[in-house]
Amino acid sequence: MGDDGGRWVELARAWMADDPDPVTRAELEALVVANDAEALRERFSAPLEFGTAGLRGLIGAGLARMNEANLARVAAGLARQLLADVPDAAFRGVMLGRDGRRKSDDFARVVAEVLVGQGVRVYWVPQPASTPVVAFLGRYVDAAATAIVTASHNPPAYNGFKVYSERGAQIVPPQDARIRAQMDAIPSVRAIPRVPFAQAVAEKHIRVVPDRWVDAYYEALDDQCLGPVPPPTQIAAVTTALHGVGHRFVHEVLARRGHRHLFPVLAQAAPDGEFPTVRFPNPEEKGALDLALALARDKFAEVIVANDPDTDRLCVAVRDPKQATGYRVLTGNELGLLLADWLLSEGARQGTLPERPLVVTTIVSTMMLARLAEARGAACAEVLTGFKWIWDYALSREGEGETFVFGFEEALGYCCGRAVRDKDGIGAAATLMELAAALKAEGKTLLDRLDALAAELGVSVTAQVATVLAGLDGMARMARIMAALRASPPTAIGGSPVSRQRDLAGADADAAGLPRADVLTYWLGDGSRLVVRPSGTEPKLKAYLEAREAAGEGEPLGAARARAEGRVAALDAWVREFIASVA
């Protein structure tokens, strides 16, 4: 092992001396004995940082992994930041939940013990629970913060930690930096005070959340729904929780709304952090919906309602005999437009729409939401990727008289009202089902409504190129690709000239009123758009493609769609070729 390798061994030995977990100590010891400098380098090159959706990383030993030592440090940092910055933080406490992943229960107990050890009370959600439910509960009890151990839709080897501020929305700067500063000031993990979990419960420093508080979440969703109970007609729907925590919450909400023809994929209904029937527990990924599709064909279901493991996302497939599977999976952008249209149009029809409605999306989501909002008399804003930015903007506009109605991001995240200040796959499922029932009562489907929107607003085709670049070498290659784009800005992409470029890493962000971020956007002369950014939650470089076309008078929508698809294919080919050219 070279000199550099000796550095990593030194860091590993220092970590082991302070690590309270014998399992991760043994893991590092084995790497040291094996002289595995590369594995040690990956674990100690940089700490986990708050990204698009909190901390997230592989479970394992070291500074850059999810483990008991890191969770103890972040919990202590959070507690100290709250005590310093938030009035009555010790009494108001922290709402604490977790999903059903590997180590989630163990990690959550560590967090609870450390919070209590710092003098902060804890509200403990007794069973693995959906992220939007826990986020709601934190605001329901006016907690100083809400924390959730979850890695959402990442593979089984990952876990994570999300933090919500006293506002009930995910933390944004400077709070994340304040927490990090408090974490960095902690000299030793072993010296962090902790109160054993059972003792903290017995002494009432930890209060177990009662079921009636979860009932308040269901009631809040009832209040934001627009459709009647029971619905005007029944929709046959297959549901899947993808081995996550959402089954009981989704079915409870849909049953309360009067939906009776629900067929769950039972093999995926119970929480299981191994995700045994899917390769990747993300409904966007190839193969994730195979069991749901098979059950849908058997039941002749009209829709498939699929949630990711922590139930903050929603994927929908609609029966379509033109597809080889018998179902067409809607893109996140298509579902976002459908939900926004329903909330704005039906809200206006019922007279419940706020005087100045606001819809918010992200800079990588479809440009069509702005057109829809203009047509429906709503304000529309674009923010950085991540729901923390959607709700940060929405809350900032309350003082200006604008009222949030809907927010979405193309990665299957939707918020259909003000019950939860984050994406909510349960609330979105309820809204989707009432829209589908209303359309069916008129003899129409969700696909019919998409065609009507395309005829009104124009055809939009979107796609994504996601390049997996794992490990430190992958991170370095991502940086080289972004640097190459900046060093030699393209003048044409996919055969269309670049009419405008924006680099949010510099002054362009200030001009756009956005925080600085590693995002490049290109608007093309034919109306297309390309956005390139490293993912904030996965080891991927993502490119977002969109082409728009208006159908000519008397022209079938299919012809306009084919032109848009051709332009997206040209963008796709350009992106892949460029990435391959950067070593």
Catalytic residues: 152
- Structure letter (DSSP) for residue 242: T
Order of all β-strands in the sheet with 459-468: 459-468, 540-549, 529-534, 520-524, 496-503, 492-493
* DSSP state letters, 340-371: HHHHHHHHHHHT-S-SSEEEEEETTS-THHHH
Order of all β-strands in the sheet with 379-383: 379-383, 357-362, 403-409, 413-415
Sign of the Cα torsion 560, 564, 565, 569 reads: positive
- Structure letter (DSSP) for residue 514: -
465, 572 Cβ separation under 8 angstroms? yes
Structure tokens at 276: 């045994």
Q: What amino acid occupies position 324?
A: A
What are the beta bridge partners of residue 264? 239
Structure tokens at 30: 């084995």
Whose CA is closest to 435, among 319, 323, 356, 335? 335
347, 357 Cβ separation under 8 angstroms? yes
Q: What angle do CA 272, 266, 339 make, to 5 degrees?
A: 90
Whose CA is closest to 535, among 488, 482, 493? 482
Distance CA 462, CA 455 (A): 17
What are the beta bridge partners of residue 382? 361
CA distances from 124 to 93, 276, 413 (A): 10, 28, 26
SS3 of the chain: helix, strand, coil, percent, to 5: 45, 20, 35
466, 540 Cβ separation under 8 angstroms? yes
Distance CA 135, CA 397 (A): 21
Q: Where does 11-98 show beta strands of DSSP type E?
A: 55-58, 94-98
Distance CA 397, CA 412 (A): 24
- Other CB atoms closer than 10 Å to residue 34's CB: what's the count? 10
